[in-house]
Structure 1
Amino acid sequence: VARAVLPPQTLKDGVLTIRIIPGRYDSAHISNTSSVSTSVAQRLVSTTTPRGDVVTRKQLEREALLLGEIPGVNAQVAMKSGSQPGTTTPDITLTQGKQFGGYVGLDNQGDPTTGRSRVMLGGYANNLLGMGDQLRVDLLDAYEKSDLFNGSLDYSLLAGGGYGTRVGVNYSHLNYHYNLSGLGFNGYSDNWGLYVTQPWIRTSRARVDVRLNAGQQFLTDKYPDVFASNSSPRGRKQVNIGSAAITGSVADLPGGLTGFGLVGTTGNVGLRSEFSRDISGDANSGGQFARFNYQINHDQQVWGPFSFYAGVNGQLANNNLDASQKFLMGGPSAVRAYDIGDGSVDEGVVGTAEVRSHWSLPALAWLGNDPSLTLATFYDQGWGEQWRNNDNGRGGRLADSNNLNLAGAGLYATVADAGNYALTMTWAHRTGNADPNAVHDDNDRFWV
């Protein structure tokens, strides 16, 4: 926003002088009927578009996007004339969005030992304190066998509101039980963490976040007495962990969107029982560790309803990892032709390619207001090493087949009404090698 002014002058040699006066921000005007405190929004606006600064598109985009990310708030930003010549006032309207919400889900994506069929329930509450805060509750139960339960709580809020920084705390608890070869196994874990998320880049074409995490995991595994030797068959571990992540998305090509993520993690696995130390044994998977996770994907509109998707994600490690830090190459979110828990590796990479077609469906009462159908064919490929160092320290190997090659192809269909429901059905056929550690050796998988 700028003005062009012709100052008093005498033309000489055909030269005309034009003075460009850049527009500057005046104090913002905020109309707020939402549940977030006006002072929180005011701090964000004052920091993003400070009074007296030159008006830029970059600042205005960032302000509008950050305001729109406040949970339970709908934001609109317009510009109007300021109180002084050459100034403009950000005119901000905040209205009440969805303050409470929830979901229910069913799938067959559980571990076969604890029950494939699962039910998921969750909900959220926005702006309970008016500080841009959000409380989330998520529950999961493997109801088929009632042998697994997981519950988690997450609470976060804007740290003052000035820069869009969000701080949060989370806690989760897991109980499991399963029978294998007539023997009963059970255990539980308690995890807690703290995190800080900073919106680094916000434009109409790009979004990038930086996140820091720190937390602890307390894991207890109870094995049958037949495993007891000189100690109680109970594995106890404490994992202290910290990570730094950069994630984001960029609309780099017309009709395309690229997503990416980089996460560096370091920590320490404390083996707190003699039995845990015995299990770690030759692998030497306790103590200090570091791993690096990466992912990149691109979704590109090709023609009409057709699009192409490709993605890669993987993990690198500095040494042999505890089971809690492994990278899983099998399952419905990786190589879909393999079971949950297959392809457990220290280092690995999974690539996928999909050809998708997206179709609108009639707005029938039982389908929703804006139903759609997505049909796709895909191919997944994963490579990995079960152990970063396959030497057992005695001249032998920890795994006879340390390198894993998982691959599969298939089809899926999704019927959805955005914001209301989604139903995805997937068939995948194995084309790669079987996992030598797999409980099941099926060639076909069906996921819902």
Structure 2
Amino acid sequence: MAAVDQHMHLLNKPQKFLQMKTYTLHVRMVSSIALACLGMGTTTLVSAQGSGTVGVSQAPAVLASTTPAKSPNPSQDARVVKAVSWDNSIDPQVNAMMEKAQASLLGQQLANAQITEQEAQLTKALRDQGYLIGQVVVSAADRAAFYQTGDLRLSIFLGKIGQIVVKNTSAVNSDWVQVVVDQNLCPNGVGNDCVLTKTNFERMTQLLYDTVGLQTGGLEFSSQGMPVGQTQLTVTTLSKEAQIKGAVGADNQGFSSTGQYRLATSLSANNLLGVGDVLGINLNVSNQGSVSGAIDLSGPLAANGLRWQGSVSRSQFSLPSYNNTSGFGNALSLGVAYPLLRGLDQNWTAGLNAVVVATSSETGGVSTANKTLQSGQLTVDGNSGDRSILLGQNTWFFRSALTVGQVMDDANSLSSPYYEAVGGYTKLAFQGVGKIILSDAHSIYSVINIRGQAANTNLDAYERMMIGGYSGLRAYSVEQGSINQGTISSLELRKAFNTEYGQFVPVIFADYLNGWVTHGPDIGWQAATGYSNLNLTNHIVASDAGIGLDWNYFNKYSLSASWAKRLPMSPAGTYGNGNSQFWFVAQVRF
């Protein structure tokens, strides 16, 4: 569930603490265009350097030639509307909007001021349908005809892009920027086939932002030299971030068998091999020399957001049944990901991966129990969109992964009825995180985190869900064990304090586990899996509560510390302190 976890730090950012800078343009663009289109001339949407504001100078005269400044006869008396007609719309929703307007207009008496008011109201309704620079007008000739006959004719201009110009000053190839803009804003080409819609516009701006090393610096709409109903769009793009970034840190999230305390380093780089590629390296080394981590690499396959992705990783998993025993998995993953929906208010991405994992366990330095897991994985990721995330509003993240695979063991081809199955398996894992603002004025909010999985058989230890640890029941150690299926839920209450020394966020939390150790237990499964408590039930229910503190110094230094204690009626911990645990994570970014 790393795709959800990587966004967790964003939940600690209330609106007034965000350092949004020029990215404010990225969030406010659509609403700015709608406001700008009420005027005439040329619209320039630019990001003031370092201020994070959007300036709008005059607005596009996309349809200026069709709208008179005043009635052809200002003294003309009001006329009763006898009939209403319109043209230029092939959208059923727009036609339904116009039919509703027709019903309300028939029989009304309209003078010049009322006609102008109707134009404004219908134009707003058209833009609410997603046509950002659309306009409904009554031309000078049609106004004159209305005063003579009572027949009101409305002209609908959906707002078309007649030409696209890209001005790129970033290190990203300009041809690539042009392709991203053209294919997502005007997939059928500019001119009469390119109507500017909210959906296409947001997808284009978001995919530009997704191109690492690139950000939108400004958008300019101009009708000069364009046919009536069309506009020229000029897109300016700038460099966004450093090509190479990194961090170092420390935590106590390791296993006692291989070293509880770990030093961590991470490095990210972009545009090293080609446009939009991203390289990520994460490495952990424990105080006993155990190494874990991952190397991730991805890049674009097409301008529509389709990306290839690959990963090589080494991770440790829980084997609670045996003393001084560690489980390791070396994994290779290759696949693709595609943004099904990319917008300011909602994002959904689907991924398809092929995964091969070689697992082993080590007891006293001797490697045993080698296995191979081969699987196909379908993932779906979603979130509430960049607007809510960056503005510190109510926010949600979701990820699900359906894994279908098989486990192979050369030494033993028989399935264990107790713990780990050899052969085919299917697992569905999910995680959902939600942030709810309780008091915006006092920066108080809650975070709900629910993660779980279900399976059709006893899973290999690599595929099981750990009970304890910083990402599980925080009152239990990482060596507490794992469950085959079930859920872990967390509820947190947070309050942010913003000071000159950084942001401090005290936390009160509770965790709750409801799960099953094995898929189908048999008599004596406890002893067969190494549990010393022969009365242990397969169905485990446990909970804890605790306190914590997060500190972030303007995204350069961060520290998170928490202490949790198990609640009554919960089983005692198997390893370490059986009643409580303390966790910390410290990091320095550069």
Other-structure match for 2:258: 114
Give the TM-score, by structure 2 length: 0.67
Please point out which of 355, 375, 378 is paired with 2:509.
378
- Go from structure 1 to structure 2 and tell me whether the alpha carbon gap of 1:80 and 1:174 turns closer, same or farther (over 3 Å shift): same
Q: Is the 8 A contact 2:396 2:434 kept in 1?
A: yes
Q: Where does 1:234-249 land on structure 2 (aligned, <5 Å)? A: 234-249=368-383
Aligned with 1:59: secondary structure? helix
Other-structure match for 1:308: 446
Residues 341-392 of structure 1: per-residue CA shift (max 9 Å, x gap): 3240111111111111011012xxxx4xxx2110110111011100011126
Shift of 1:280: 4.1
Other-structure match for 1:209: 349
Residues 302-337 of structure 1: per-residue CA shift (max 9 Å, x gap): 112211222211111111111010011311112111
- Go from structure 1 to structure 2 and tell me whether the alpha carbon gap of 1:279 and 1:113 turns closer, same or farther (over 3 Å shift): farther
Other-structure match for 2:235: 92
Please point out which of 527, 542, 564 is paired with 1:406.
542
Distance 1:336 1:308 in 2: 18
1:196 matched to 2:367? The reply is no
Other-structure match for 1:329: 467
1:17 matched to 2:149? The reply is no
Shift of 1:441: 4.6
Other-structure match for 1:8: 141
Aligned-partner residue type, residue 351 of structure 2? R
Please point out which of 277, 284, 288 is paired with 1:145.
288
Distance 2:493 2:306 in 1: 37
Q: Where does 1:262-281 land on structure 2 (aligned, <5 Å)? A: 262-274=400-412, 280=416
* Number of residue pairs matched by the alignment: 426
Aligned with 2:153: secondary structure? coil
Aligned with 2:255: secondary structure? coil
Distance 2:219 2:454 in 1: 47
Shift of 1:290: 0.6
**Structure 1 unaligned runs (5+)?**
226-231
1:101 matched to 2:245? The reply is yes
Residues 283-306 of structure 1: per-residue CA shift (max 9 Å, x gap): 451111111112222211111221
Aligned-partner residue type, residue 119 of structure 1? L
Other-structure match for 2:427: 291
- Go from structure 1 to structure 2 and tell me whether the alpha carbon gap of 1:188 and 1:293 turns closer, same or farther (over 3 Å shift): closer
Other-structure match for 1:229: none
Shift of 1:15: 3.4
Distance 2:326 2:469 in 1: 22
Distance 1:373 1:222 in 2: 41
Shift of 1:124: 1.3
Aligned-partner residue type, residue 202 of structure 1? R
Q: Is the 8 A contact 1:360 1:372 kept in 2?
A: yes
Which has the higher mean CA deviation after the structures are superposed, 408-417 or 291-300?
291-300
Aligned-partner residue type, residue 203 of structure 1? G
Distance 2:524 2:420 in 1: 9
- Go from structure 1 to structure 2 and tell me whether the alpha carbon gap of 1:310 and 1:272 turns closer, same or farther (over 3 Å shift): same
Shift of 1:43: 1.8
Distance 2:463 2:295 in 1: 22
Aligned with 1:263: secondary structure? strand
Larger Rg: 2
Aligned with 1:372: secondary structure? strand
Q: Is the 8 A contact 2:226 2:232 kept in 1?
A: no
**Equivalent pairs: percent with the same residue?**
24
Other-structure match for 2:204: 63
Higher strand share: 1
Shift of 1:35: 2.1
- Go from structure 1 to structure 2 and tell me whether the alpha carbon gap of 1:111 and 1:90 turns closer, same or farther (over 3 Å shift): farther
Other-structure match for 2:301: 159
- Go from structure 1 to structure 2 and tell me whether the alpha carbon gap of 1:77 and 1:59 turns closer, same or farther (over 3 Å shift): farther
Distance 1:341 1:70 in 2: 40
- Go from structure 1 to structure 2 and tell me whether the alpha carbon gap of 1:21 and 1:104 turns closer, same or farther (over 3 Å shift): same
Q: Where does 1:405-424 land on structure 2 (aligned, <5 Å)? A: 405-424=541-560
Taking CA–CA contacts closer than 8 Å with sequence separation of 6 or more, which of the two structures ends up with the larger relative contact order? 2
Which has the higher mean CA deviation after the structures are superposed, 232-241 or 330-339?
232-241
**Structure 2 unaligned runs (5+)?**
1-132, 585-590
1:357 matched to 2:495? The reply is yes
Shift of 1:7: 5.7
- Go from structure 1 to structure 2 and tell me whether the alpha carbon gap of 1:261 and 1:284 turns closer, same or farther (over 3 Å shift): closer
Q: Is the 8 A contact 1:149 1:175 kept in 2?
A: no
- Structure 1 moving runs of 4+ over 6 Å: 251-254, 396-399
Q: Is the 8 A contact 2:469 2:478 kept in 1?
A: yes
Distance 2:496 2:460 in 1: 41
Aligned-partner residue type, residue 152 of structure 1? A
- Go from structure 1 to structure 2 and tell me whether the alpha carbon gap of 1:244 and 1:47 turns closer, same or farther (over 3 Å shift): same
Aligned-partner residue type, residue 272 of structure 1? D
- Go from structure 1 to structure 2 and tell me whether the alpha carbon gap of 1:19 and 1:187 turns closer, same or farther (over 3 Å shift): closer
Q: Is the 8 A contact 2:329 2:462 kept in 1?
A: no
CA RMSD after TM alignment: 2.9
Shift of 1:65: 1.2
